[in-house]
Amino acid sequence: MAPETIEPTAPPLRAPSPPPTDRPLHTLPAPFTSSNLEVLTQGAEALVYKSVFLTPHTPCVVKYRPPKPYRHPVLDRRLTKARLLAEARVLVRCKRDGVDVPGVLGADWEGGWLVLEWVEGKTVRGVLDGWAERGAGEKEGILGLMERVGLAVGRLHEIGVCHGDLTTSNLMVRVPEKKAEVQEQNDELEGDIVLIDFGLASHSTQNLQDEDRAVDLYVLERAFAATHPKAEPLFKDVLSAYGESFKGARAVLKKLEDVRLRGRKRSMLG
């Protein structure tokens, strides 16, 4: 028979009490300190603010990479500088070669900030969440969106850029210009795909390996699978559009199969 009172042999553990949440928001370096900026999001690396550039009607984004207090200062400076420079360089390159990205309006790697063109719209992640909530219907609209994602990634790879962090949070859907005013919910699936967040990107003209491209696709595939169970089956439409997007795309899809297999093996190991 079980004893009347069960005494734990290990003392119960308490969760640490959550630290105060009114953290001091990072103060931006000059020339932004005094300006009135609106925090948009806090990504993993950066705080993203909305502001205006030159005229009060030209919105822009200030992407500020604050020092990370958890990181050793030497490592912190090295990473911030490398990523900011990578991002600025790749954005300029994409713009030049006709990939839809926000243009670079200003940068200061000592200060840790970049000023970028504003993209009016939502992230693909946000759009997919909305779509799933509305019941995951709208077949035509969603297929069109997946196709445009595939083509956009294909174009990026074609010019020799590897994104390095290709998730649904780093793809935006730009609100079609004329519709911006009368935007209805179901129009969310319309609009051009804009690629953002190039801090982990790399560029090379000759030896961008299919391997790197395939890893980009693999990362995106897992982002689909992990965040949007309902959107998971849609990824094949992204891939089929990608396969048609440039000359070497088929070879990349072939490589993707290897990368997947490797990934599956790895995460099964004990």
Ligand X SMILES: Nc1ncnc2c1ncn2[C@@H]1O[C@H](COP(=O)(O)OP(=O)(O)OP(=O)(O)O)[C@@H](O)[C@H]1O
118 binds, among Mg ion, another protein, ligand X, none (CB under 5 to 8 A by kind): ligand X
For 196, the token pair is 């953002």
* Stretch of residues binding another protein (CB under 8 A), selected from 68-76, 137-145, 185-193, 248-256: 68-76
Place of tokens 């969106």: 145
- Binding to another protein by CB under 8 A, coded x per residue (else -) over 116-155, reads ---------x------------------------------
User: Judged by CB, which is closer to ligand X: 46, or 256?
Assistant: 46
By rule CB under 5 A, what string of x and - marks binding of each residue 196-235 to Mg ion? -x--------------------------------------
- Counting contacts by CB under 8 A, is residue 200 touching another protein? yes
DSSP letters of 35-55?
Answer: S--EEEEE-SS-EEEEEE-SS
Q: Which residues pair with 117 in a beta bridge?
A: 60
Yes or no: say if 236 and 124 are a contact pair by the CB < 8 Å rule.
no
119, amino acid identity: V
Q: Which is nearer to another protein, 173 or 223 (CB)?
A: 223
Distance CA 167, CA 152 (A): 13
**Nearest distance, CB of residue 196 and Mg ion, angstroms:** 7
* From 22, 129, 165, 192, active-site residue: 165
What are the Cα distances from residue 248, in Å, to 208, 210, 251, 255?
11, 8, 6, 11
Rounded to 5 degrees, φ, ψ at 247 are -60, -45
Q: Is 187 a catalytic site residue? A: no
- For ligand X, which is the closer residue by CB, 67 or 233? 67
Segment interacting with another protein (CB under 8 A) among 103-111, 188-196, 218-226, 233-241: 218-226
Nearer to another protein, 128 or 190 (CB): 128
Residue that has been written with the tokens 């079609």 in this structure:
176
C-alpha 190: how far from its chain's center? 19
51 contributes a contact to Mg ion by CB under 5 A = no
Q: Which of 77, 89, 122, 222 binds another protein (CB under 8 A)?
A: 222
Q: Quick check: 90 and 196 in contact, CB under 8 A?
A: no
* Helix ranges (DSSP H) in the chain: 73-96, 124-133, 139-158, 210-227, 235-243, 249-268
Give the three-state DSSP class for 121.
strand
**What is the closest distance, in whole angstroms, from the C-beta atom of residue 16 to ligand X in the complex?**
17
- Using rule CB under 8 A, residue 227 touches another protein: yes
Which residues neighbour 134 within 8 Å (Cβ) at sequence distance 6 or greater?
Answer: 185, 186
User: CB of 116: closest distance to Mg ion in angstroms?
Assistant: 12
The secondary structure element, H or E, covering residue 62 is: strand 59-64
Q: Decide if residue 123 touches Mg ion (CB under 5 A).
A: no
Where does this chain bind another protein (CB under 8 A)?
Answer: 1-3, 6-10, 12-13, 15-16, 18-19, 21, 23, 41-45, 68-72, 74-75, 78-79, 125, 164-167, 169, 200, 215, 219, 222-223, 225-227, 229, 263-270
Task: Kindly list the catalytic residues.
Answer: 165
